[in-house]
Structure 1
Amino acid sequence: MKMKRFFAEDMRRALLQVKETLGPDAVIMSNKKVNGGVEIVAAIDGDAEPQAPKAQAQPDKTEEPAKPANSLAEILARQAQHPAMANANEPPEAAPQATPQQNEQSIWQAQTDTVDEPAEPEVDVPDYVGGGSAAEIAELRAQIKGVQNLLQHQLSGLMKQEMEREEPMRALLTQRLMTMGISERIADQIACFIPEGDDIEDSWEQSLQLLEGQLNTTHDDILTRGGAVALVGPTGVGKTTTIAKLAARYAQRHGSESVALITTDTFRIGASEQLKVYGRIIGCPVKVANDAKELADAMLTLRDKRLILIDTAGMGQRDKRLSEQLAQLLQNKRLRIRPYLVLSSTSQTQVLNDTVKQFKTLPLAGCIFTKLDECLSLGESISVAIEQGLAVGYLTHGQHVPEDIRVADEHYMVTEAERLYDKSICSNVSDMPKSNWQAVQ
C-alpha cells in the first residue's frame, strides 16, 4: 500500500493531483482544510497493475459485449436502464442457483475489484441483484459500507503512525496542544508550521506564540468606547454579575452619573431586584423593560449616559423565547446596541459551539468568558473563540465586584491555558503510585 499527501487550493485541484499521480484507482484516506487550501491523503495498492479484461466467450456479432461491472452502484444503474438485463445472460437451460453466501462473495468481489483487478465476466452479479429484494440489497450495502469504514479506520491509524515516524515533532506538538484543550484541527495547523529537528522547548514556545496570533480581543471596547451594550447568553453564566463589574469599573473611571443599567430579565424571580441592589451600591439608575417598546423608552430616557449596560434574560439556546428576546434587541433603531455573548469557560466544547451558533443571529461585537476560577482547562474556550471568529472582550474569575474581572489579553489566555495544563499533568503524576514516578520523570 502506497500513501501520499497532496496539497491544493481547493478540493477539485487536489483530486486532480491524486488522479494524475496515483491513477483513477486511488482511495481517498482523509481530507481536511489547512491554511491556504485543503490536504488530501490518498493510497493505492503498490502491487496492483491494470489488467486487460478476459475475452468474452463467443460474443454476438451483432451486439458489442457488455463490459463487466466494477461496483454495485454500476450494477444497479444498469439494472435501472435495462430491466431485462437480469435474464439477458441466462442460457436456455435452467442454470443451478448460487447460494446466498456465494452471491454475497461475488458482489463483494465486484465492489473491491475497483482497487485490485477488473471483475471476472463469469460472475453472474446481475442475476442476484435482479432477483433480490430491496431489503436484501439494503442489507448488503450496509455490510459493504461497514467493511469500508473499518478499513478506512485501520488505514487512518497506519497513516497516523507513518506521520509520527516521518514528522515526530509535528505529532508531539499536536498531541500536546490537544491535551491542553485545543481542538485537533487548530493543533495540527499550528504544528505544521514548526520545523522538524528543532529543540522541543523552543518548538513548544513557537507553538504557543502561533496560538496567540490566532486569538482576537476587543481591547477594552466596552469601557473605553461606551454606548449601549447588551450582555446575552444562556442561563447561569454570570451575566448580571458581569454587568455589575463593568458598571462599577466604568463608574470608577468616569463617575457613577455617566453609567446606567437596564434589565429585560422579567422571567427569573428576583432578577431585577438583584440588579437594582448593584445599582444602589454603584450609585447609578436602573430601569426595567418588559418588551421592545419599554426598552426603547428606557434608552431614550437614559440617552445622556455615556454607557448603558443591558442585562438580558438567561435562556437555554434551544428555548423558543430566545428568538423573541433577540428580536427585541434588533428592533431598536434609536440607538445601536452592541451585543456581547457571555460564555462559561467550564462548558464543554460542543455546548460552547452550539451556544454561539444560536446567538449568532445577532451581530455579536465579541464575547466574555466567565468562571475562569472554576475551569480545569482553558483550551476549549480558546478553540471556540478562534473557530467561531469571536473577539474576546473580558475574563471574569470570581464573584467579587468589581475586582474579579480583567481585560482579555491573548498572551494571558494562552499562558493561563498552559498553566492549567501543567497543573493537570502534575496532579496526574501526584496521583500515581510512587513506583511510577521515575518513569514519568
Structure 2
Amino acid sequence: MQVKKYQAADTQQAMRLVRAAHGPDAVILDCRSIAGGVEVVVSLEELLESSAPATHSSTMFASAQVNLASARDTRSEREPTALDALFNRRKKAEEQSAPVAKEAVAPNRETAAGPQVVWSQNEELLTMKQELASMKSMLMDQLKGHSWQHASHQTPEYEELNAFLSAMDIDPALGKQLRAEIPADETVSLQREMLKMLLIKKLSVATPPSSGAICLVGPQGAGKTTTIAKIAAQYVLTHGRSDIAILTTDTARVGAQEQLRAYGRILQVPVHVAADEEEAVKTYRLLRKKNLVLIDTAGISFRDKQGISELHRLVSAMQDVQVFLTLPADTENYVQSEIIDAYSAFNARGAVLTRIDEAMRIGGAMSNLIQHRLPLVWCANGPRVPQNLSAADASKLVNMAVRMTKAFEHKRQPITAPKEPEKQAESVPAEVAMARQTQRGSSLNVRV
C-alpha cells in the first residue's frame, strides 16, 4: 500500500493540506499526535486509480466509481474514529468562539490556493528562532560575565577566586554564597580546595532505588529511554530478568517503542506499551507484583504547560511511583532552571544528569541542582548500555567540573599603566615652520 504523510500544528491545518493536495475524497488511514502537532496518513491507491490513463474501458471506469462510492458509504457508516472525535471537538470550539475570530479566519481560507505551509514549520521562522536562542544564550553569558566583573570590583581580595568560579560556570548568586565562607587571606590554591569541599557538601546526592516503580520524566531528547535501558540492564546483570518489567507511554516519538522493544529482546525483559491513561493504569496494576517496574514517558517541552499537566495526571493515577527528572547537562543553565521549574509539580525524588560527555562545563548544572535543592541520583556520560550510567558521586562530579575548567581559565596579565601614544608630526604651513625654527635659534643664542 502506498501512503503519504502530512504533518501540521493541528488537525484542521492537516486536513486543509490533504484536501488541497488530494481533494475531498482522500482516504485517511490514521491520525495521531506527534511532537509539535499531528500527523495524518493518506492512502494513495485510490488516487492512483483515478489518475490512470484514459485507455481503460468505460466499464472499468464505471466500476471504479461504484467502488469509490461504496467505499465512501462504508466510511460514512463505520463507527466514529479518533479523527472524527478531533473534528467534532474542533467544530465545537469554533462554534463557541467569537464572531470576530471567524471573520478574521475566513479571508485566509478564501485566499488559500493550494497547500499552505504551517507558520510554525516555516523555515525562515525556524531559523529566526534558532538565531534568537543563540542570541539569548550569548546575552546570558555576557550578563554572567558582567556579574563576575562587578563582584571582582566590589571584592578585589577575591579576584582570583571569582575568575575560577566564572571559569567553572557557577551561578553568580551561588558563587557569592560560597565566597562568603572562604577566608580572603588564604592562598589561591587553598581557596580552590575549600571551594571544592563546599561544592561537594552542598551538592545533594541520593542512593538509586533498586526496587519499586521508577518513572523518568523530562524534555525531548534528554535521554529517558536510553537511561531506562541502562537501569534495566544493570538490574538484569545483578538480580536476573525474572522480576522486572518495562512500561512505556511514549506513543508520540517515532521509534521510541521499537528502541525499548529491541533492548527488551536483548535482555529478555517484557516491554508493555500503553496508548492512553486508562490503559497505562491498568497495565501498571498488573505489573506492580514485579520487584522493579521501569516507566518511560513521552518527552514534553518545558513550555508545553498543557502537556506537562496531562503527564502529571497520568503519573498521579499510578500509585507509589518514584518520579525522577531527566536533566541534560549540555543545555544552557537558564534552560535547565526552567526545566526544573516546569516539572516541579511532580515532586521528583531526584534527578538524572545525562549527556555529560557532550557538555563543555557542568558547573551550571551543579548550580541548578544546589539552588533548587534537587538531589542527584544517576549520572550518564555516554550512550553505551549499561556502562555509561553510574550512581551519583558528588566528589567525582566536582573534580570533573574542575578539570573542565582548565580550558576556560584565562591567564591573567599584570595591570600596567597604558603607554602614552607617540606624538605624530604635525602638518603645518611652511611659514609657521620657519617661524618656529627662527624662535628656537634665537632662544639658543640667548642661552649661550
| TM class by smaller structure | 0.5 to 0.7
The within-5 A match list for 1:177-188 is 177-188=165-176
Residue 222 of structure 1: how far off its partner (Å):
2.3
In the alignment, is residue 222 of structure 1 matched against residue 206 of structure 2? Answer: no
Q: Which residue of 2 aligns with 1:242?
A: 227
Whole-angstrom CA distance in 1 between matches of 2:228 and 2:277: 20
Residue 179 of structure 1: how far off its partner (Å):
1.7
The one of 176, 192, 201 aligned to 1:213: 201
In the alignment, is residue 407 of structure 1 matched against residue 391 of structure 2? Answer: yes
- Structure 2-normalised TM-score? 0.57
In the alignment, is residue 326 of structure 1 matched against residue 312 of structure 2? Answer: yes
Q: Which residue of 1 aligns with 2:421?
A: none
The within-5 A match list for 1:326-405 is 326-332=312-318, 335-405=319-389
Q: Which residue of 2 aligns with 1:421?
A: 405
> Does structure 1 conserve the Cα–Cα contact (< 8 Å) formed by 2:333 and 2:368?
yes
Residue 401 of structure 2 aligns to a residue whose secondary structure is helix
The within-5 A match list for 1:16-415 is 161-164=153-156, 168=157, 170-219=158-207, 221-223=208-210, 226-319=211-304, 320-332=306-318, 335-415=319-399
Whole-angstrom CA distance in 2 between matches of 1:406 and 1:185: 30
Whole-angstrom CA distance in 1 between matches of 2:152 and 2:325: 38
- Structure 1-normalised TM-score? 0.58
Change (3 A) 1:248 1:191: same
Whole-angstrom CA distance in 2 between matches of 1:385 and 1:210: 14
Whole-angstrom CA distance in 2 between matches of 1:301 and 1:259: 12
Root-mean-square deviation (CA, aligned residues, Å) is 2.3
Residue 357 of structure 2 aligns to a residue whose secondary structure is coil
Change (3 A) 1:264 1:157: closer
Residue 231 of structure 1 aligns to a residue whose secondary structure is strand
Q: Deviations over 1:131-171 (max 9, x none)?
A: xxxxxxxxxxxxxxxxxxxxxxx9x988853421xxx1x34
Change (3 A) 1:158 1:387: closer
Residue 193 of structure 1: how far off its partner (Å):
1.2
Q: Deviations over 1:197-246 (max 9, x none)?
A: 21211111011101111101112x223xx100110000011110010000
Whole-angstrom CA distance in 2 between matches of 1:303 and 1:187: 45
Whole-angstrom CA distance in 2 between matches of 1:361 and 1:301: 26
Whole-angstrom CA distance in 1 between matches of 2:164 and 2:342: 31
Whole-angstrom CA distance in 2 between matches of 1:159 and 1:263: 48
Residue 351 of structure 1 aligns to a residue whose secondary structure is helix
> Does structure 1 conserve the Cα–Cα contact (< 8 Å) formed by 2:167 and 2:405?
yes
Q: Deviations over 1:75-104 (max 9, x none)?
A: xxxxxxxxxxxxxxxxxxxxxxxxxxxxxx
Equivalent position amino acid for 2:199 in 1: L
Gaps of 5+ in 1: 1-153, 430-435
> Does structure 1 conserve the Cα–Cα contact (< 8 Å) formed by 2:151 and 2:162?
no
Gaps of 5+ in 2: 1-145, 417-448
Residue 283 of structure 1: how far off its partner (Å):
1.2
Whole-angstrom CA distance in 2 between matches of 1:358 and 1:158: 31
Residue 422 of structure 1: how far off its partner (Å):
1.5
Residue 361 of structure 1 aligns to a residue whose secondary structure is helix
Residue 352 of structure 2 aligns to a residue whose secondary structure is strand
| Structure 1 outlier segments of 4+, above 3 Å | 156-160
Residue 381 of structure 1: how far off its partner (Å):
0.5
Whole-angstrom CA distance in 2 between matches of 1:248 and 1:347: 27
Change (3 A) 1:401 1:196: same
Change (3 A) 1:295 1:370: same
Whole-angstrom CA distance in 1 between matches of 2:165 and 2:150: 22
Task: Report sequence identity in percent.
Answer: 32
Whole-angstrom CA distance in 2 between matches of 1:421 and 1:381: 14
> Does structure 2 conserve the Cα–Cα contact (< 8 Å) formed by 1:338 and 1:363?
no
